[in-house]
Amino acid sequence: MMTIPGRVLGGWGVVGEAVAGVQMVDASAHDADADADADAILTLGAQDVDDMLALARLTRPGPFERGTRLMGRYLGVRRDGALVAMAGERLHPPGWVEISAVCTHPSARGQGLGGELVRALVAGTRADGFRALLHVEASSPARALYERLGFVVRRPVALHRLRPPPPPDSTDDTDGTDGTDAAEAEPAPDEGAPGRG
């Protein structure tokens, strides 16, 4: 696997090695929300944060912390009060919205919940005048789901785990073992991508 220097982006530190991934973009021609069960899909908010964190920690869809939900729309499905699936928006490069944190509780897998949530997010993204993109490990079984939903590979990417820089008044620990939260670094679409506007 590829590695990058220990210090990048103004003090952010790399943790571990890169993972081979792909950037996928929505290329579907169908009505993205045609099959979604709108009654089962809920908009998640501040009251759902603890459940969102618990589901993300159990399923490990990638970096997800308490404030992640503030990066965009997050949708979920509850069964008997428990959050069993969620997906949301993270990065917003010009003209695009990244779908992220797609995850389903092991007890609810195989029921199409992740697909319903992704379709609903794509529909919202289109309604807002943007295109959807996402990032996934190249060998992940989730890649097949995204392909069935109309996503196509735009390009390979190297996915990195990053450690945020220390606060200005603390000592810099660049070995990646300080236990701070990590984030995933992913390239945005090409410069030629449609711009916001």
Q: Looking at residues 182-195, what average pLDDT do you find?
A: 41
Number of domains in the chain: 1
Instruction: Give the tens place of pLDDT for each residue, 144-160.
Output: 999 999 999 999 998 87
User: Is the pLDDT at 39 greater than 70, yes or no?
Assistant: no
121 token code pair: 């997010």
Q: Which residues neighbour 196 within 8 Å (Cβ) at sequence distance 6 or greater? A: 94, 95, 130
Query: What domain range includes position 53?
Result: 16-185
Q: How confident is the model at residue 163 (pLDDT cuts 50, 70, 90)?
A: confident
Q: How far apart are CA 174 and CA 74, in angstroms?
A: 33
Residue 84 maps to a domain: yes
Angle at 50 between CA 100 and CA 56, to 5 degrees: 35
Residue 139 maps to a domain: yes
Q: How confident is the model at residue 13 (pLDDT cuts 50, 70, 90)?
A: confident
pLDDT at 192: 38
Residue 191 maps to a domain: no
Residue 9 maps to a domain: no
Residue 127 maps to a domain: yes
Angle at 184 between CA 180 and CA 187, to 5 degrees: 145
SS3 state of residue 102? strand
The mean pLDDT of the chain is 81
Residue 159 maps to which CATH number?
3.40.630.30
Pairing of strands 74-79, 82-89: antiparallel
Residue 1 maps to a domain: no
The model's pTM: 0.75
User: Is the pLDDT at 22 greater than 80, yes or no?
Assistant: yes
User: Is the pLDDT at 122 greater than 90, yes or no?
Assistant: yes
Residue 63 maps to a domain: yes
Number of CB atoms found within 10 A of residue 158's CB: 16
Q: Looking at residues 127-138, what average pLDDT do you find?
A: 95
Residue 6 maps to a domain: no
User: Is the pLDDT at 132 greater than 50, yes or no?
Assistant: yes
Judged by average pLDDT, the poorest of 18-32, 39-53, 67-81, 130-144 is 18-32
3-state helix, strand, coil in the chain (%, to 5): 20, 35, 45
C-alpha atoms less than 13 angstroms from C-alpha of 106 in its C-beta half-sphere:
5
